[in-house]
Chain A
């Protein structure tokens, strides 16, 4: 008789991965919507950035949940990967994985690690400076020389083509990660039913559209800095 809790079982852990993944996918959509405003209306972007950066509910409730979800998704991903690797201590001399499964599904850890590396860059670029300005320097005005600083700071980052390329590479890997992850999350939650085909199609659209959106925004911002 099993005495262990849900999250000690392999299935429970995958369930937790799926839940955190769904949360992160919703966050990604919200992030994209705000980024789109940077391209179509810098004023709106500034106002939204200021709201997100200073609203206590966002800062001290939503943000910690998001950070927990991100850390949880990565740590659990590593825990699962270690277990998976120990399950086959001697590998095959010949393993024809492409005969029965997609590259994305077999290499979630690789795409995941690229996304992790991207997040480190992203935090150095934006999150740490923000936290420093707001909570260490103590400047929550969001202003620089009397004007909102968010859009100019964003543009300054994307003036560097190396950063734009790094972002594009990361988002291509994110697309691959999502392409498998979206449908996989529903399967892990036990939702393989009459809706699964439709959900998977939606997942493919989401997996391409969202990262492509981020890529296009990065490129447009770079082009803007050239003028």
Chain B
């Protein structure tokens, strides 16, 4: 199929950037979206033009590295997948495809479609861990009883790959779905409960510091999340924070 691509080109973080049109032909429906961009880049390189910079790593939907806002939605029009799992058969011959970076103040553009998502790392570092002494006498995790339902919910929350689609989809660039998944995966387990009050406060504080917007409960994040992280996690985080703030006087 032949396609028109409208791609955001920006040389560096200081450049203003603009949409640039590209024509691409002989695209196979069996190509992944990233493979289609690889073909475009080979063509650009052969013409001595600068290839389009985009993030990618595992290309099998588990690393959370690929991003891209495709035709107005993060990871494109299909549900429950990352951009590397999106195939060109989802498009038609003659289509025009808008390809933009994930946009948020907290995700500054490095180049073209590559954004700096280290805000997520800093949120993780602010509390998404369990402080356990690992000097050799650590208790076997399996010896702590965990209700199956809690384990399942914690596991579901832990499947978040931190890709940032929730931020990209949200009209407010809110990171609530990501942060709530990370808060939940610990809050639901006995090992995480010990530090739960401090954790949720620190992570929400860091989230606010990074410049993400508020949650308007539109549900766009849940709909676009490649891992199907549920809004229930956001409600849980709200509960956790409200009760933690009510209980702890700083």
Which residues does A use to contact B, with CB under 8 Å? Answer: 1-6, 9-15, 80, 83-97, 99-102, 105-106, 108, 180, 183-184, 187-193
Contacts and interface: CB of A to CB of B under 8 A. Distances in A.
Contacts of A108: 216
Contacts of A94: 69, 71-72, 98, 100
15 contacts: A6-B241, A6-B242, A6-B245, A11-B238, A14-B215, A84-B172, A85-B213, A86-B211, A92-B72, A95-B72, A96-B72, A187-B234, A188-B215, A188-B217, A191-B235
Contact of A11 (B216, B220, B223, B241): B241
Given A92-B103, A187-B234, A187-B235, A87 B211 contact: yes
Contacts of A9: 204-205, 208, 241, 245
Nearest to B246: A6
Contacts of B77: 99
A14 B98 contact: no
Given A3-B250, A96-B73, A97-B171, A190 B216 contact: no
Contact of B241 (A12, A85, A91): A12
B236 interface: yes
Contacts of B217: 105, 180, 183-184, 187-188
B95 to A, nearest CB: 13
A190 B238 contact: yes
Contacts of B205: 2, 4, 9
A136 B164 CA distance: 58
B214 A93 contact: no
A102 B222 CA distance: 13
A20 B105 CA distance: 29
A11 B237 contact: yes
Contacts of A99: 72-73, 77, 223
B218 A102 contact: yes
A190 B204 contact: no
B207 interface: yes
B156 interface: no
Lowest 4 CB-CB distances: which A-B pairs, in order? A96-B72, A190-B239, A192-B235, A87-B213
A8 to B, nearest CB: 8
Nearest to A89: B105
B105 A97 contact: no
A100 B224 CA distance: 7
A10 B214 contact: yes
Contacts, number: 160
B19 interface: yes
Contacts of B215: 10-11, 14, 188
B202 interface: yes
B213 A83 contact: yes
A12 B246 CA distance: 11
A85 B171 CA distance: 8
Given A86-B213, A190-B237, 15 more contacts: A2-B205, A4-B205, A5-B250, A6-B246, A9-B204, A10-B204, A11-B204, A11-B242, A15-B242, A83-B213, A84-B171, A84-B172, A84-B216, A87-B106, A96-B71
A84 B231 CA distance: 19
A9 B17 CA distance: 33
Contacts of B72: 92, 94-97, 99
Interface in B143-192: 169, 171-174, 176
A87 B237 CA distance: 21
Contacts of B240: 190
B232 interface: yes
B238 A189 contact: yes
B97 to A, nearest CB: 9
Contacts of B216: 84, 105-106, 108, 184
A34 B108 CA distance: 54
Contact of B214 (A13, A90, A189): A13
Contacts of B173: 84, 87-88
A105 B170 CA distance: 11
B188 to A, nearest CB: 14
